[in-house]
Chains A and B, each alone.
Chain A
Amino acid sequence: MSSTKYTEYDAYAAEEAASGTAGGETQGRIFDVGGADWDQVVAGAEEADDERLVVNMGPQHPSTHGVLRLILTLDGETINEVRLVIGYLHTGIEKNMEFRTWTQGTTFCTRMDYLAPLFNEAAYCLSVERLLGIEDQIPERAQIIRVMMMELNRISSHLVAIATFGLELGATTVMLNGFIEREYTLDLFEEITGLRMNHAYIRPGGVAQDLPSGATSKIRDYLDRMPKRIQQLRKLLDANPVFLARTKDVAYLDLTGCMALGVTGPVLRSTGLPWDLRKSQPYCGYETYDFEVPTQDTCDVYGRYLVRMAEMEESLKIIEQCLDRLQTVKGPVMIEDKKIGWPAQLAMGADGLGNSPRHIAHIMGTSMEALIHHFKLVTEGFRVPAGQAYVPIESPRGELAAHVVSDGGTRPFRAHFRDPSFVNLQAVPAMSEGGMVADIIAAVASLDPVMGGVDR
């Protein structure tokens, strides 16, 4: 890039210069250790704080949630300064999305925040739908399924947050219990979408396919079991003296700090502000569901834990309402507009992959034009009118939004994700500088960052 001319390093030049001047006059400034100010230097070094220790924590460290690197300047056990280094998991997802069709974009963005894949998909698809101007045409059943899947995902994500939280503070029992419950949630995802993670289930225009038969009864079983299991987790942690000592009044961040640093999600709600986009700027029909926004006013790690626990219980309520609605609301799960909607009435094949027998019979047997159209829709994709859209949703970690720009083509011109983990991580120095080194683990854990989302 730069036009600076580099001269080759000449190993002999210094030697020749040295022999040339040997015996002769020494040129240039002379440095020796006999100067008058040497005593001052020594005295200055003695005065300086030699307890200062720079510790490099990460990027490979079990309690940094992936590849987060913290550079700590310690004075004994006290943290004087924290610097965060990210970028170890940068995969260029946003750039890659510019080279795929709008529908293929879901396959990429689902991999960003890998604990909340359905939220990434939802934020992206809602943005694309706003660009297409089809927000009102999404079938009701698709919206209900989206809400249900997102709430299941919120539970699984919060379970990991609390499980790793426990692990990082030394409680292996909490970790095992949390991960067991998460596994049940992932089983449901596998049943419904075919994959435990990275589903690409929510698509522009609706969802990839309807719920398989038997899924609702499995979700009912899940709803029966979960309240007891959450209660068990609460018994382990809520009043646990060790847990309280590690979390109460630790990593304090009040409302002013949250506003300045752009922190959202459970961290913001632990300061007492009931700001939840599901209530304040509803999407996918959240305004029609009955649920509370749990808050705490302690501004500390314990408050954030309590908010997450209460949110899981609220999510269970929403899922129950979704199931009730799904019993009565039937119909398509993909937009009727044939220019956008992919076939979504899929049957399960012998190898587990779904296809739509009726659609195949139609395009292969009766209509040449339908075959051409299907081919164009899948390979070329649909065009999206030029413009930009920014749709925020409430992910388990805070405001997740996709800023999507179209130039009128079949691919995103630019897709940027405002990932809550990325923003919330900026609050770590504010939360932990001046505190004890052990508390930074609790501080990072209470933010629940996912590096896949941070680095994208």
Chain B
Amino acid sequence: MSSEHPEQRAEQAADQLPAQTEEERREQPVVRRGMFGAKTTGDTSGYGGLVVRQTPKVSTPRPYGGPRGAAEPGEFDEIADELERAYPDYGDAIERVVVDRGELTFYVKRQHLREVARTMRDDPSLRFELCSGVSGVHYPADEGAELHSVAHLLSITHNRRVRLEATCPDADPHIPSLVPVYPTSDWHERETYDFFGIVYDGHPALTRIEMPDDWVGHPQRKDYPLGGIPVEYRGAEIPPPDERRSYV
């Protein structure tokens, strides 16, 4: 699918998506079907049958560059180099590295998460002394890694930021807690447990924090409905937001 058109080529390069043959492409999972959200009424545009395939796991090759761009090695390469030096199991622990929109993300295997975070905090050349927070994202389509736990670290010493992302499957929603390394993630992890059902192993008191203690379910998961009732206004009935037409 590599294009001759210079603009499209530039776009592909910017997306960090390697060009692929059509056979390879057909094996990729479907990320979107149709367009304009028309599912019930007759879609005469022809876009209803559109199938968009994409590699779900994007990985950025070196050089990573810095917040201003990836043209030449920058501070993101420094962080990766220092982590590789300070953490012996780097190759095993870091699944992939993504540099997107001037932000650096390490996808860390969950069994290594706490030690990677500890290295990030303690190594003088990394020194990410502040954890800005932990939150979750639920990707139902990402099979085997439906739940993502995202931690944002800040280094005041070096004035840098980095994101650590760890995943776990729905069937085994366990991720090691960061509380022993960053005490501030206490409430954040309780919130993520509350909203997504990720169980943070080693957390001192993993209880619900926003929802009532006896609440059933984890509200921010994608399979949890928003709820709401239809509202009548001047004779017309307006359905609740999650039942309205969507353009996804």
Q: Which residues of A contact B (CB under 8 A)?
A: 1, 86-87, 90, 92, 94-96, 98-100, 130-131, 133, 259-264, 273, 275, 280-281, 380-381, 387-390, 392, 399, 401, 403, 405, 407-411, 413-414, 416, 418, 422-423, 425-426, 455-456
Given A262-B130, A262-B132: A411 and B248 within 8 A (CB)? Answer: yes
List, in ascending order, chain B residues with CB within 8 A of A86's CB.
209-210
List, in ascending order, chain B residues with CB within 8 A of A426's CB.
183-184, 186-187
- Asked if B109 lies at the interface with its beta carbon under 8 angstroms from chain A, I say no
**Nearest residue, chain B, Cβ from A424:** B184
Out of B103, B210, B247, name the residue touching A389 (CB < 8 Å).
B103
Out of A387, A407, A414, A456, name the residue touching B101 (CB < 8 Å).
A387
Out of B137, B208, B242, name the residue touching A413 (CB < 8 Å).
B137
B152 and A387 form a contact (CB under 8 A): no
In Å, the complex CA distance between A86 and B194 comes to: 13
List, in ascending order, chain B residues with CB within 8 A of A100's CB.
241
Interface size bracket, B side? 35 or more
Given A99-B241, A410-B248: A403 and B101 within 8 A (CB)? Answer: no
A87 and B247 form a contact (CB under 8 A): no
B135 and A87 form a contact (CB under 8 A): no
**Which of B85-93, B110-118, B155-163 faces chain A?**
B155-163
A255 to B: closest C-beta gap in Å: 10
Q: What are the 5 closest A-B residue pairs judged by CB atoms, nearest first?
A: A262-B184, A416-B135, A409-B248, A99-B241, A418-B133
- Asked if B124 lies at the interface with its beta carbon under 8 angstroms from chain A, I say no
**Nearest residue, chain B, Cβ from A387:** B100
In Å, the complex CA distance between A87 and B36 comes to: 38
Given A90-B211, A131-B101, A426-B184: A1 and B217 within 8 A (CB)? Answer: yes
B241 and A96 form a contact (CB under 8 A): yes
A1 and B247 form a contact (CB under 8 A): no
Out of A95, A416, A455, name the residue touching B219 (CB < 8 Å).
A95
Count chain B CB atoms within 10 A of each CB in A387, A416, A455 and give the residue with the most: A416
B131 and A262 form a contact (CB under 8 A): yes
List, in ascending order, chain A residues with CB within 8 A of B50's CB.
none
List, in ascending order, chain B residues with CB within 8 A of A275's CB.
156
Given A262-B130, A408-B32: A390 and B184 within 8 A (CB)? Answer: no
Out of A90, A98, A260, name the residue touching B184 (CB < 8 Å).
A260
- Asked if B226 lies at the interface with its beta carbon under 8 angstroms from chain A, I say yes
B247 to A: closest C-beta gap in Å: 5
In Å, the complex CA distance between A311 and B102 comes to: 30
In Å, the complex CA distance between A261 and B185 comes to: 8
In Å, the complex CA distance between A92 and B218 comes to: 12
In Å, the complex CA distance between A100 and B245 comes to: 11
In Å, the complex CA distance between A410 and B247 comes to: 7
B101 and A409 form a contact (CB under 8 A): no
B184 and A455 form a contact (CB under 8 A): no
Given A387-B101, A455-B210: A280 and B159 within 8 A (CB)? Answer: yes
B100 and A261 form a contact (CB under 8 A): no
- Asked if B182 lies at the interface with its beta carbon under 8 angstroms from chain A, I say yes
**Nearest residue, chain A, Cβ from B246:** A411
In Å, the complex CA distance between A418 and B131 comes to: 11
Out of B133, B182, B247, name the residue touching A260 (CB < 8 Å).
B182
- Asked if B59 lies at the interface with its beta carbon under 8 angstroms from chain A, I say no
A418 and B186 form a contact (CB under 8 A): no
B147 to A: closest C-beta gap in Å: 12
How many A-B pairs have beta carbons closer than 8 Å: the answer is 115
A388 and B220 form a contact (CB under 8 A): no
List, in ascending order, chain A residues with CB within 8 A of B184's CB.
260-263, 423, 426
List, in ascending order, chain A residues with CB within 8 A of B217's CB.
1
B232 to A: closest C-beta gap in Å: 20
A418 and B152 form a contact (CB under 8 A): yes
A52 to B: closest C-beta gap in Å: 21
In Å, the complex CA distance between A392 and B36 comes to: 33
List, in ascending order, chain B residues with CB within 8 A of A264's CB.
130
Given A409-B248, A411-B248: A423 and B211 within 8 A (CB)? Answer: no
Out of A388, A403, A409, name the residue touching B100 (CB < 8 Å).
A388
List, in ascending order, chain A residues with CB within 8 A of B102's CB.
130
Given A95-B226, A100-B241: A401 and B219 within 8 A (CB)? Answer: no
Given A260-B184, A387-B100, A422-B187: A403 and B152 within 8 A (CB)? Answer: yes
A293 to B: closest C-beta gap in Å: 13
**Nearest residue, chain B, Cβ from A260:** B183
A430 to B: closest C-beta gap in Å: 9
Binary interface profile of B, 126-146, with partner A (CB < 8 Å = 1, else 0)?
Answer: 000111110101100000000
**Nearest residue, chain B, Cβ from A423:** B184
- Asked if B236 lies at the interface with its beta carbon under 8 angstroms from chain A, I say no
**Nearest residue, chain A, Cβ from B183:** A260
14 A–B contacts from the bound complex (CB under 8 Å): A1-B217, A99-B244, A100-B241, A275-B156, A280-B159, A281-B161, A389-B103, A390-B103, A390-B132, A403-B152, A411-B246, A423-B133, A426-B184, A426-B186
A262 to B: closest C-beta gap in Å: 3
List, in ascending order, chain B residues with CB within 8 A of A409's CB.
247-248
In Å, the complex CA distance between A299 and B110 comes to: 37
List, in ascending order, chain A residues with CB within 8 A of B186's CB.
426
In Å, the complex CA distance between A372 and B9 comes to: 31
In Å, the complex CA distance between A426 and B184 comes to: 7
In Å, the complex CA distance between A189 and B210 comes to: 31
Out of B159, B185, B220, name the residue touching A95 (CB < 8 Å).
B220
- Asked if B175 lies at the interface with its beta carbon under 8 angstroms from chain A, I say no
List, in ascending order, chain B residues with CB within 8 A of A380's CB.
36-37, 247
List, in ascending order, chain A residues with CB within 8 A of B152's CB.
390, 401, 403, 418
B215 to A: closest C-beta gap in Å: 10
**Nearest residue, chain A, Cβ from B32:** A408
- Asked if B150 lies at the interface with its beta carbon under 8 angstroms from chain A, I say yes
Out of A87, A96, A133, A405, name the residue touching B137 (CB < 8 Å).
A405
A235 to B: closest C-beta gap in Å: 35
**Nearest residue, chain B, Cβ from A430:** B183
- Asked if B216 lies at the interface with its beta carbon under 8 angstroms from chain A, I say yes
Known pairs A403-B135, A413-B137; list 17 more (Cβ under 8 Å). A86-B209, A92-B219, A99-B241, A261-B183, A262-B131, A262-B185, A263-B184, A381-B247, A388-B105, A388-B163, A390-B152, A401-B133, A407-B248, A410-B247, A416-B135, A423-B187, A426-B187
